[in-house]
Structure 1
Amino acid sequence: METIQDPIYEGNVTVRRTLEELQAIEEKKRQRAAARYQNNPQAAATKLYQIARGDTGGGRAASALLLSLWNKNFVCNMRDVICSLDTDNSQAVIALLGTLGPGHHLERYLTQEQIIEIIDVWGSTHERSRK
């Protein structure tokens, strides 16, 4: 451990981990999350659905992504999605997006009832404006 000068409080602060140690911890978290969702889009979609059911910033971000993948009536800001979710949940987003495409649609992983539940909570927030 080392002691450094804190510029805000003008006192000494004990640093328990170096920057390199903190970065290594975050990288391990990212790798574990990536392994959890690798080749498992169902787990990624379910995780995001569970988050989207909540009334949090992460819920708003997860719901925006899921609704925008459901149909063209909803939009999401991908920067907001990634910045609003922690490492584990961001890896779920990346895993889900990596599997969607021809023959792999969100309908394979979430039911219409689940999406309707998200629309009831968040639909008006993410609805594309129509002119």
Structure 2
Amino acid sequence: MEQIQDPVYNGNVTVRCTAEEYEARQRKKQAESQQRYQNNPQAAATKLYQIARGDTGGGRAASALLLSLWNDNFAANLRDVICSLDIDNTEAAIALLSTLGPGHHLERYLTQEQIIEIIDVWGHMHERRRA
């Protein structure tokens, strides 16, 4: 890996790397995230909740997923969700989705107050349109 002084940013170090090094870093991040959330849906739900509280593209995506898992009044486009989150947050979404099912509902991991907070910010955007 090569380090250079970047005059545009007053001499702060800018790290450049090869495509192979970049891919290796990404695979390492993904493996660490998978391990962090694999058997911990509470951590995954909490991570997505923290993101959903923000006013970003990732917040929009995380809120869509959480609200759609909460009840039938909200809808999420899973392709949009996965494409809008970074590697760590995508692994949190995948881990949460893989644990939900019979006996495992989102209510076990997030409180109604937390969901109401997300609805107040994002609910209008994800509300399922009724004909």
Fold shared, TM-score > 0.5 on shorter chain: yes
Distance 1:111 1:127 in 2: 19
Shift of 1:27: 0.0
Distance 1:112 1:17 in 2: 45
Q: Secondary structure at the match of 2:33?
A: helix
Q: Deviations over 1:68-110 (max 9, x none)?
A: 0000110011111111111000000010001000000000000
Report the aligned-residue RMSD: 1.4
Structure 2 match to 1:66: 66
Query: Sequence identity of aligned pairs in percent?
Result: 78
Shift of 1:21: 1.3
Structure 2 match to 1:9: none
Distance 1:125 1:25 in 2: 34
Q: Secondary structure at the match of 1:32?
A: helix
Q: Deviations over 1:37-90 (max 9, x none)?
A: 110000000000000000111000000000000001100111111111110000
Distance 1:22 1:56 in 2: 25
Structure 1 match to 2:27: 27
Distance 2:21 2:119 in 1: 41
Structure 2 match to 1:110: 110
Q: Secondary structure at the match of 1:130?
A: coil
Structure 1 match to 2:6: none
Shift of 1:17: 2.2
**2:123 is equivalent to residue 120 of structure 1:** no
**2:80 is equivalent to residue 84 of structure 1:** no
Structure 1 match to 2:8: none
Distance 1:88 1:53 in 2: 17
TM-score by length of 2: 0.87
Shift of 1:22: 1.0
Amino acid at match of 1:33: S
Distance 1:116 1:85 in 2: 22
Shift of 1:16: 3.6
